[in-house]
């Protein structure tokens, strides 16, 4: 052990930061490093599942506490000096210090940036002082979730909720509001979920409508109607809707302002681009929502602020910082969600490149949509499923798969993701040995039928 412990300052106490901190301590025990880890977080909660907030809003999760994987005290008991309510506002990577909003200057030997990405709030949603109008909110922190629970309880039956944004959060919040029986309007710039091809997002749109939502596609919100300071309606280029509540889910932006001007490279969107071990600069590391991630298939850096990348990259970072060799070797752009309201149950998943991504990467892509069932057609479990498969005509490499269908459809994406991870071909997917029994699949698994059909067209 060295006489002076290595001072590690972690900015952000959520998935990436705490995965890094704990893994660093675990690895340090093996490598004999002496680490003094301080974690600073401007909020009051640690290690909570932001992804779970829509389900808390829906009433499926009983309490916000259920979303907390580990409390601040549990982190402290593990030997981490965790300080909540501390915002870092500046850094000096030459002097190796960070400065807090309270003016405190902390020195570090290694800086871990895991500061996340707060929700983007358009001008129309806020007052002059930057705060949101009453009845308007974002969906990012546990406090946001608690506020939504209160608002949902307060408005009562017959309320109308307008959701601005049709990404994962938008769709999940729409599901939550529909489960409460509220009227729901989803307003989105595009033709539906942008992570899907149009022929797939149309199916999601249809499910939302079947579940009771109104969709306003290709629209840009221009302003709110207010009664005093309380929202009563939403305007867009082409229409308006009365609203009791407005959910703003138009995206998030890396919280990296404190790194501006330090010499640490940021993208135009403010993101960091760490290497597989989490390094971004000398003695500066980063992981999680404040970063872009590398897509293995085309080498592109993309902004995909997902919990699964945060925990994986955070773990690799913590291990590397403490002398280990774990690495986060990028991703293949896998994601999943659902629309589940009453009789409507649609699972939505994607992995790999879109057709546009593939063309941009110089592929000659061939894509086909295949319809089938999640179980043998004669079984009560059989639900319709649509599978879109994209492959390269020349190399036969599998490039992307999207799945939209009933119960059991969504997690099938992992099989396609595994093929993409290995750089496999559409023939691999078509012929590999996947499980079959009537309650679970057709004798030719639908994913394989979809792959085979593409293989036959190459």
Binding site for a second copy (CB under 8 A): 15, 49, 51-52, 55, 60-62, 66-67, 168, 306-308, 311-312, 328-338, 340, 347, 349, 351, 376-380, 408, 410-415, 417-422, 424, 428-429, 431-441, 443-445, 447
Q: What count of residues does the chain have?
A: 458
Spatial separation of the C-alpha atoms in residues 44 and 418, rounded to whole Å: 37
Rounded to 5 degrees, φ, ψ at 291 are: -120, 155
Q: How many CB atoms lie within 10 A of CB 176?
A: 26
Q: Helix (H, G, I), strand (E, B), or coil: what is residue 445? A: coil
Instruction: Choose between 387 and 420: whose C-beta lies nearer to a second copy.
Output: 420
Instruction: Choose between 197 and 333: whose C-beta lies nearer to a second copy.
Output: 333
Q: Closest approach of Cβ 419 to a second copy, in Å? A: 6
Rounded to the nearest 10°, the torsion over CA 415, 346, 373, 411 is 20
Is-contact 165 140, C-beta < 8 A? no
Q: Closest approach of Cβ 332 to a second copy, in Å? A: 5
Answer left, alpha or beta for residue 116, where phi above 0 means left and psi between -120 and 50 means alpha: left
Instruction: Choose between 266 and 341: whose C-beta lies nearer to a second copy.
Output: 341
Is-contact 11 113, C-beta < 8 A? yes
Going edge to edge, which strands form the sheet with 245-248?
136-137, 245-248, 160-164, 183-188, 213-217
Rounded to the nearest 10°, the torsion over CA 215, 221, 224, 230 is 60
Query: Within its chain, how far is the Cα of 134 from the centroid?
Result: 26
Q: Closest approach of Cβ 127 to a second copy, in Å? A: 33
Instruction: Choose between 100 and 374: whose C-beta lies nearer to a second copy.
Output: 374
Q: Closest approach of Cβ 230 to a second copy, in Å? A: 31
Instruction: Choose between 90 and 434: whose C-beta lies nearer to a second copy.
Output: 434
Spatial separation of the C-alpha atoms in residues 438 and 373, rounded to whole Å: 11
Q: Closest approach of Cβ 446 to a second copy, in Å? A: 11
Instruction: Choose between 224 and 455: whose C-beta lies nearer to a second copy.
Output: 455
Instruction: Choose between 82 and 331: whose C-beta lies nearer to a second copy.
Output: 331
Q: Closest approach of Cβ 103 to a second copy, in Å? A: 35
Q: Are strands 183-188 and 398-405 parallel, antiparallel or unpaired?
A: unpaired
Is-contact 157 181, C-beta < 8 A? yes
Is-contact 50 22, C-beta < 8 A? no
Instruction: Choose between 89 and 436: whose C-beta lies nearer to a second copy.
Output: 436
Q: Closest approach of Cβ 408 to a second copy, in Å? A: 6
Q: Closest approach of Cβ 70 to a second copy, in Å? A: 12
Instruction: Choose between 162 and 332: whose C-beta lies nearer to a second copy.
Output: 332
Q: Closest approach of Cβ 62 to a second copy, in Å? A: 8
Question: For residue 39, which of 67, 64, 65, 15 has the smallest C-alpha distance?
Answer: 15
Is-contact 56 145, C-beta < 8 A? yes
Spatial separation of the C-alpha atoms in residues 433 and 419, rounded to whole Å: 12
């Amino acid at each position: 052990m060295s006489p002076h412990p290595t001072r590690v300052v972690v900015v952000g106490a959520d998935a990436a930061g705490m995965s890094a901190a704990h893994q660093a301590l675990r690895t340090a025990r093996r490598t004999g490093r002496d680490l003094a880890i301080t974690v600073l977080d401007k909020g009051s909660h640690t290690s909570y599942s932001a992804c779970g907030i829509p389900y808390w809003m829906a009433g499926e999760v009983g309490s916000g506490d259920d979303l907390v994987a580990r409390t601040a005290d549990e982190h402290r008991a593990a030997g981490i000096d965790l300080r909540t309510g501390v915002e870092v506002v500046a850094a000096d990577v030459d002097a190796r210090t960070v400065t807090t909003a309270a003016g405190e200057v902390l020195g570090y030997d290694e800086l871990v940036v895991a500061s996340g990405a707060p929700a983007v709030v358009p001008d129309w949603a806020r007052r002059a002082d930057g705060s949101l109008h009453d009845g308007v909110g974002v969906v990012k922190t546990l406090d946001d979730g608690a506020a939504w629970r209160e608002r949902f309880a307060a408005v009562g039956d017959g309320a109308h909720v307008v959701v601005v944004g049709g990404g994962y959060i938008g769709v999940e919040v729409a599901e939550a509001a529909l489960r409460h029986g509220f009227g729901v309007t989803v307003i989105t710039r595009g033709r539906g979920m942008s992570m899907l091809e149009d022929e797939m997002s149309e199916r999601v749109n249809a499910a939302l409508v079947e579940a009771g939502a109104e969709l306003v596609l290709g629209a840009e919100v221009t302003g709110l109607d207010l009664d005093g300071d309380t929202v009563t309606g939403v305007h867009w280029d082409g229409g308006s809707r009365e609203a009791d509540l407005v959910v703003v889910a138009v995206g998030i932006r890396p919280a990296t302002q404190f790194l501006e001007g330090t010499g640490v490279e940021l993208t135009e969107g403010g993101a960091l681009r760490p290497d597989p071990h989490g390094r971004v600069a000398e003695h500066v590391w980063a992981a999680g929502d404040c970063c872009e991630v590398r897509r293995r298939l085309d080498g592109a850096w993309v902004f995909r602020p997902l919990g699964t990348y945060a925990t994986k990259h955070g773990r690799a970072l913590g291990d590397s910082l403490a002398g280990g060799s774990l690495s986060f070797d990028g991703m293949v752009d896998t994601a999943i969600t659902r629309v589940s309201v009453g009789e409507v149950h649609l699972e939505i998943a994607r992995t790999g490149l879109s057709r546009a991504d593939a063309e941009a990467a110089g592929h000659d892509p061939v894509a086909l949509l295949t319809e089938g069932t999640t179980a043998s057609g004669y079984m009560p479990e059989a639900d319709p499923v649509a599978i879109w498969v994209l492959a390269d005509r020349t190399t036969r490499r599998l490039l992307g798969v999207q799945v939209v269908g009933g119960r059991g459809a969504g997690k099938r994406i992992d099989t396609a993701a595994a093929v993409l991870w290995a750089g496999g071909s559409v023939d691999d997917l078509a012929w590999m040995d996947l499980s079959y029994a009537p309650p679970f699949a057709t004798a030719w698994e639908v994913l394989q039928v979809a792959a085979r059909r593409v293989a036959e067209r190459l």
